[in-house]
Structure 1
Amino acid sequence: MNESMLREHICECGKSLYDRGLATGSSGNISVRLDDGWLLTPTNASLGHLDPAKLSKLDWQGNLISGDPASKEAFLHRAMYEERSGAGAIVHLHSTHSAAVSCMSGLDACDCIPALTAYFVMKIGKLPLIPYHRPGDPGLGNAIRGLAAKHNAVLLANHGPVVSGKNLEAALYATEELEETAKLFLLLRGHNPRALNDEQIEELRQVFKLDQT
């Protein structure tokens, strides 16, 4: 897709997320890598009412090239892109079930949602938890850099997920799979769920040639 098509595609995906209740109010942001920088949804913008012409375009130093002022969480996206050269798009939401898990105590910080389904393993893999930082804290970018090279998704404590993909569809589908698995995780709390074991996970990695690092 050229830049014009990508702008339209971001707006279409944003509206889909908004219409399905995965992004409420002005929460959440979407970005896509370009040859000469990257596009990001603007600050205080509803994903359900985006204007392709007003999307923020930034260079790789984070400077605004055109469009409305960028989301204050731009540094989350930039940190992920810098560590994941194969990432073509990133979706960050405050979706209900993923955000609920991010507020729980006693999570395994290295892998905070178990491998409940094959699809979670295939789309997300291990999901590390990043300790709480206030919104806009630049230290959160450094925390992401410490994990993004080995993980295509992270969960921000008391906040929500940041998910990368080779393109916008891949990032979107992975985000949706994470949200559904978070819902399963919450439903199964206290019911002794059976997660996939190491052998089953390794079989998925081999058969589907998974490379989530």
Structure 2
Amino acid sequence: MTEETLLREQICTLAKSMFDRGLTGGSTGNISSRTPDGGLLVSPTGTSFGRLDPARLSRFDAEGRHVDGDRPTKEMPLHSAFYDTRSQAGAVVHLHSCHAVALSMMPDVDEDDFLPPLTPYGIMQLGRVRLLPFFRPGDPAMGEAVRGLAGKRSAVMLANHGPVVAGKDVEAACNAIEELEATARLAMLTRGLSPRALSEAQVQDVVTHFNIEWDT
């Protein structure tokens, strides 16, 4: 198998795993990854994470031209914004995961620091997560909002819609977005119960020890 063939299989395997565990349903969500030659493989529009076909993934060349496969997701401006502003981004994943969406609807959520510091793992894999306002699905303004962050965040939460995470590769991006959903689930489960979150000193210790990108 070529490196690209293996990557196609990996994208579909990881997407199906997330679908099978209820992290995104129906034909929601989209995923992309850099190819060895600098191009992109992208999930096609209107497809289910549970039934992606490796041979039909949308293929872009290094100049951003769609050269093969089915028509790509309508959220391409969102993916492109991460690749264009974060040189270390090797993959981008967007889900419609329920607990993250539910948390985005809460009136007292910190827009600049969406996830409460309940465990060290969200901090380690995501840094600070920015809550962006609601945009119509497919609206290019979502991409412009990400560009406005100037590459300082690897993860954003689209209000009433779903999380988007960039990672160094497709496995890292999937692991990170799963951690985002897990932390959001903890936040919703403990909401109103005054849980003991990590202290500022504990957060800073994690940030320093693991050399976390921590935009302030």
Fold match (TM-score > 0.5): yes
Question: What is aligned with 1:185?
Answer: 187
Question: What is aligned with 2:32?
Answer: 31
Letter in 1 for 2:26: G
User: Structure 1 residues 197, 60: closer, same or farther in 2, change over 3 A?
Assistant: farther
Question: What is aligned with 2:213?
Answer: 211
- 8 Å Cα contact 1:163-1:171 kept in structure 2: yes
Letter in 1 for 2:6: M
- Corresponding residue to 2:131 among 126, 129, 132: 129
Letter in 1 for 2:182: E
Using the TM superposition, name which of 101-110 and 132-141 deviates more.
Answer: 101-110
Show structure 2 runs of 5+ residues with no match. Answer: none
- 8 Å Cα contact 1:87-1:166 kept in structure 2: yes
Question: What is aligned with 1:4?
Answer: 5
Show structure 1 runs of 5+ residues with no match. Answer: none
Distance 1:114 1:133 in 2: 23
Distance 2:6 2:30 in 1: 18
- Corresponding residue to 2:54 among 44, 52, 55: 52
User: Structure 1 residues 180, 86: closer, same or farther in 2, change over 3 A?
Assistant: same
User: Structure 1 residues 31, 148: closer, same or farther in 2, change over 3 A?
Assistant: farther
SS of structure 1 residue aligned to 2:173: helix
When normalised by structure 1's length, the TM-score is 0.95
Question: What is aligned with 1:174?
Answer: 176
Distance 2:198 2:61 in 1: 42
Q: What is the deviation of 1:61?
A: 5.8
Question: What is aligned with 2:155?
Answer: 153
Runs of 4+ in structure 1 displaced over 4 angstroms? none
- 8 Å Cα contact 2:133-2:158 kept in structure 1: yes
User: Structure 1 residues 139, 106: closer, same or farther in 2, change over 3 A?
Assistant: same
Q: What is the deviation of 1:209?
A: 2.0
Q: What is the deviation of 1:130?
A: 0.5
SS of structure 1 residue aligned to 2:183: helix
Structure 1 residues 58-207: aligned runs within 5 Å: 58-59=60-61, 62-147=64-149, 149-207=151-209
Q: How many residues align?
A: 213
Q: What is the deviation of 1:106?
A: 2.4
Quote the RMSD (CA, aligned, Å).
Answer: 1.5
Distance 1:161 1:78 in 2: 16
Distance 1:125 1:208 in 2: 11
- 8 Å Cα contact 2:39-2:63 kept in structure 1: no
User: Structure 1 residues 148, 29: closer, same or farther in 2, change over 3 A?
Assistant: farther
Work out the percentage of aligned pairs sharing the same amino acid: 52
